[in-house]
Amino acid sequence: MTAEAVPLDATLRALADGNRRAILEVVRDSRRAVGEIAAEVAMSQQAVSHHLRVLDGAGLVTETRDGTRHLFMVRVDGLDVVRQFVEGFWPERLAALKSAAEKEARDRA
Amino acid sequence: MPEFATSIDIEAPPEIVFAHLVTPEGMLAWIGQHAELDATPGGVFAVDIDGNPIRGEYLEVDPPHAVVISWGVLGSELIPAGSSRVEFRLTPIAAGTRLDLNHTGLPDVEQPKHAEGWTYFLTRLADAATSTR
């Protein structure tokens, strides 16, 4: 999943949950297994797995495998939501401005 | 990423492009669904874009060369109303107008170096998420 593919809304929704922010703090420095994360945040593995799926869908964590273990770590690029927002926002809007101004210029000609 | 810059060439004279930055009719032709604009220094810049209330004020109005506005989202902790700065610079070119856009003063979302910064950043993002919808 690329950073550009995740809309701002998805990232903000994923972050608008205290449990998920707590999980992100646990995985910010090193790769951790679900069980380790669950122990640190005092939640069930099932709940942690659910939250990790949401975070993964928003591009906020990456998952790797170590043998049979699934390890998770924060994906810093996913946090760059403001850059994503303006980089998508302005080019699209300016293309619309170009169309509007060129149409008016043609109409006046 | 405290800054974003881009430019686009428009086949229309600067006067026409400029009008699209300072009048509600011109603005709504390319951005937003509702606009309240007072294109004088210190005048209100209020445009609702896809449900986001963008709020700020005109800082510089130099027809037909430049428009500078302060820019933010009403109620957002991440980008409060008027907290960032958007500059539109218009330069005449053979084909019409080159528009240079520079959006500065955006919150720095580089990886925070300290745990406190990290927590603060995440909390601000969460506040932004809940207050803008």
Question: What is the complex's ipTM, to 2 decimals?
Answer: 0.77
For the cut 50, the answer to whether the pLDDT of residue A1 exceeds it is no
Which pLDDT band holds residue B111 (cuts at 50, 70, 90)? Answer: very low
Facing A80 at nearest CB: one of B10, B109, B115: B109
DSSP B112: P
Q: What is the pLDDT of residue A47?
A: 96
Interface size A-B, in CB pairs within 8 Å, comes to 103
Q: What is the pLDDT of residue B75?
A: 73
Q: Please tell me which residue, B65 or B133, carries the higher pLDDT value.
A: B65
Q: What is the pLDDT of residue B91?
A: 97
Which pLDDT band holds residue B70 (cuts at 50, 70, 90)? Answer: very high
Q: What angle do CA B123, B129, B133 make, to 5 degrees?
A: 150
Residue A42 near chain B (CB below 8 Å): no
Inter-chain CB proximity A82 and B109 less than 8 Å:
yes
Q: For residue A36, how many C-alpha atoms fall within 13 Å in the half-sphere facing its CB?
A: 13
Are the C-beta atoms of residues B6 and B18 closer than 8 Å to each other? no
Q: What is the pTM of this model?
A: 0.63
Q: Please tell me which residue, B64 or A82, carries the higher pLDDT value.
A: B64
pLDDT digits (tens, 9 = 90+) for A48-60: 999 999 999 888 8
Which residue in B7, B25, B118 has the most chain A C-beta atoms within 10 A of its own C-beta, making it the best mutation to test that interface?
Answer: B118
